[in-house]
Amino acid sequence: MRFSFQLILILILGVFNAHAQDLLTIPSKKNLKQVDSVLVFKPQQQNLDKYPVVYLLHGHNANYKSWSKLTDLQKLANQYQFIIVCPDGLKKSWYLNSPNKDSLQYETFFLEELMPAINQKYKVDHNNVFITGASMGGFGAMYMMTKYPQLFAGAGSTSGVLNLRYSAFRKTTIAYLIGTYDDKNKLYDDYSPVNNLQALQGLNKALIFDTGTEDYLYITSKQFRQKCDDLKIKATYIAQPGGHTGGYWSKSIIRHFEFFAEHLKK
């Protein structure tokens, strides 16, 4: 009898867990010219009127399911009472608007379609919206933060491409979006988060960024740190052993959630 009760309880919990995440599909005819898939993780115990949100952006050639394969997002949603939103960056969108009119306008999609859809469907605490990601996603998070600081309480980047001139894709997918890579193409500077940090001066945003010391992008994090210091922008910077790998991100991203939760307590 006890075994049967335990089995039933496990099945109930399994069903409950299955309903703790949603798969949204957002048709974007104008900005993306396709449907964007979004995986959303909600706290299993929902007792609050409003919930902080973390937009979690994936890296190059990944998709909306990639983060859920690297770490237990449901556990993080439960532990910190966050709604976690994992949109599909369509492998190589770089989460920006391209001057190339035939290309994706992901930035506009994010602001005018994705965020409104999340705000309409879920009980969002608009004062506590965070954004973070890895590699291309780290770029996207800090790019959005520096360009639209009024929308976010904080941002993070793990192994982020904080200076586009150092990206391994500067002559391929980035070049397709913002033009041929060369010293004269200033868009590589204009789009780079490290060159736009002045937008965050005096705003007291929650910022965290890290890169493994064996990562080829380690230099961009050092540049980002120096610029924060020069502008007297408070930020948490972490340098630790690791490369540009999913194994590194599966551990590093947990610290971002801890950091955002600490910010909420303050």
Q: Is the pLDDT of residue 230 over 80?
A: yes
Residue 8 located in a structural domain? no
Domain span at residue 93 reads 22-265
Q: Let me know if residue 195 belongs to a domain.
A: yes
What's the average model confidence in pLDDT over 153-162? 98
State the DSSP string of 32-46: TSEEEEEEEE--SS-
Indicate whether 176 belongs to any domain: yes
Assigned token pair, 84: 């976690």
**231 with 198: CB under 8 angstroms?**
yes
Read off the CATH number of the domain in which 110 is found: 3.40.50.1820
Classify residue 250: in a domain, yes or no: yes
72-94 pLDDT, tens per residue? 999 999 999 999 999 999 999 99
Is 4 within the bounds of a domain? no
- How many separate domains does the chain show? 1
Question: Is residue 137 domain-resident?
Answer: yes
Residue 195 has pLDDT above 80, yes or no: yes
186-204 exposure pattern, b = at least 16 Cβ within 10 A, e = fewer: ebbeebbbbbbbeebeeee
The Cα 22–Cα 85 span in angstroms is 10
**Residue 2 covered by a domain:** no
Q: Averaged over 58-65, what is the pLDDT?
A: 98
Work out the mean pLDDT of the chain and round it to a whole number.
93
- What is the reported pTM? 0.92
At 20 the pLDDT is 61
Q: Is residue 3 one of the residues assigned to a domain? A: no
